[in-house]
């Protein structure tokens, strides 16, 4: 059965999408069969794989709201062993439309059941909120990975995320495991980055991944070419770092 890893932090710009896109590619590169599920209406992970959204018949919205079977929505990517479920802007409406549905926070969990045996990993890229889309991702997941940007206010908002996780574990998904906390956009030249690493390690202890993602221009360029870093610039620092993360995820999972 697939490990379903939700990448979540209600803060925007902490590298959720960058991590989802590149962790997927590196796990696939290591021979695992991987599905990337874009659950952010912005569809940045979808664009990150060069998927032209206007040409799609369906996206994850149709699975959640119109009961389209999940298999019909899965697309092959240019990376061997890697498939994607795309998202488009209409997914923003699901946040509201889900409210009135039966088992509104379990929709994704039910939708993924038929394909869970077909992948080693399903990685879910969440929107920057703790609304019903993120709750659906947490309800479907076996694990959560929390990216934290090495910036001022890094820890702000995390207590809300942790209390949400507590609530999820008490009801929706008792077995949800915190796979790890990932420090991102580290800049070794600044004391601030170093301080944030210390603080996050004090708070999350052994949950923090040894791999720390540095600022790397190639990582920010890759999406505009519709490629993950291991295709865009396989020898870059960014590619190496996400390969290290994939190895750590394989050890922990």
The footprint of ligand ADP (CB under 6 A) covers 12-18, 44, 128, 184-185, 213, 215-216, 219-220
Q: What one-character DSSP code corresponds to residue 97?
A: H
Judged by CB, which is closer to ligand ADP: 51, or 120?
51
Indicate the residue among 44 and 81 with the shorter CB distance to ligand ADP: 44
Q: Give the nearest distance from C-beta 185 to ligand ADP in angstroms.
A: 5
Interface mask toward Mg ion for 39-78; x: CB under 5 A: -----x----------------------------------
Minimal distance, residue 220 CB to ligand ADP, in Å: 4
Confirm or reject binding of residue 184 to Mg ion (CB under 5 A).
no
CA distances from residue 205 to 58, 150, 153, 210 in whole angstroms, order as listed: 42, 16, 19, 11
CB of residue 15 to ligand ADP, shortest distance in Å = 4
d(CA 171, CA 35): 26
**Eight-state DSSP code of residue 213:** P
- What is the side-by-side order of every strand in the sheet holding 82-85? 75-76, 82-85, 34-38, 121-125, 3-7, 143-149, 177-184
- Find which of Mg ion, ligand ADP, none residue 18 binds, CB within 5 to 8 Å per kind: ligand ADP
CB of 190 to ligand ADP, least distance (A): 14
Nearer to ligand ADP, 37 or 120 (CB): 37
CA distance 164 to 83: 30
219 interacts with, out of Mg ion, ligand ADP, none, CB within 5 to 8 A per kind: ligand ADP
Name 76's Cβ contacts closer than 8 Å, sequence gap at least 6. Answer: 83
Q: Nearest to residue 29, comparing CAs of 252, 182, 253, 249?
A: 249
Question: Residue 184 and residue 21: Cα distance in Å, rounded?
Answer: 14
Q: How far is the CB of 230 from ligand ADP (least distance, A)?
A: 14
């Amino acid at each position: 059965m697939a490990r379903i890893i939700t990448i979540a932090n209600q803060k925007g710009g902490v590298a959720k999408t960058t991590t989802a896109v590149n962790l997927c590619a590196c796990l696939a590169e290591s021979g695992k069969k991987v599905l990337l599920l874009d659950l952010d209406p912005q569809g940045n992970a979808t664009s990150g794989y060069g998927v032209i959204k206007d040409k799609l018949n369906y996206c994850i919205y149709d699975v959640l709201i119109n009961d389209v079977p999940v298999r019909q929505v899965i697309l092959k990517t240019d990376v061997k062993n890697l498939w994607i479920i795309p998202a488009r802007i209409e997914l923003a409406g699901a946040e509201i439309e889900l409210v009135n549905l039966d088992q509104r926070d379990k929709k994704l969990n039910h939708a993924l059941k038929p394909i869970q045996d077909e992948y080693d990993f399903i990685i879910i890229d969440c929107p920057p909120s703790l609304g019903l889309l993120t709750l659906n991702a947490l309800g479907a997941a076996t694990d959560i990975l929390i990216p934290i940007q090495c910036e001022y206010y890094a820890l702000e908002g995390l207590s809300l995320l942790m209390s949400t996780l507590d609530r999820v574990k008490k009801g929706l998904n008792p077995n949800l495991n915190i796979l790890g906390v990932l420090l991102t956009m580290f800049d070794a030249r600044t004391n601030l980055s170093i301080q944030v690493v210390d603080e996050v390690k004090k708070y999350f202890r052994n949950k923090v991944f040894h791999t720390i993602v540095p600022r790397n221009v190639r990582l920010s360029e890759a999406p505009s070419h519709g490629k993950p870093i291991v295709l865009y610039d396989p020898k870059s620092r960014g590619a190496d770092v996400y390969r290290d993360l994939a190895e750590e995820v394989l050890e922990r999972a």
